Amino acid sequence: MSEPTVTEAIDNIYASLQADNADIDEHIAALKLAMAREGIKEAVFDPAKLAQSNRSGRKMMQAYFRQRGVAVKFST
């Protein structure tokens, strides 16, 4: 099985967030590896696809991902 691209890894994270964070740490690790392979510094997420798209939810997500070594930005 091939390694996921950044886009696929982000889609897996959206699915995980909708499924009450099931396997979220595994998906973050896959995203981190994909970002390193593709030379991307920040993962960009669409707030409309998040379970909690309010400011508090976005800041919590950024902090959680930062602790795991992934910088997160949100599209407008």
Q: Flag whether pLDDT at 57 surpasses 80.
A: yes
Predicted confidence (pLDDT) per residue in 20-37, tens digit: 999 999 999 999 999 999
The pLDDT tens digits of the residues spanning 10-21 come to 999 999 999 999
Asked if 66 and 40 count as a contact pair (C-beta separation under 8 A), the reply is no
Distances (CA, A) of 52 to 23, 41, 59, 75: 18, 24, 10, 15
Q: Give CA angle at 58 (27, 11), nearest 5°.
A: 30
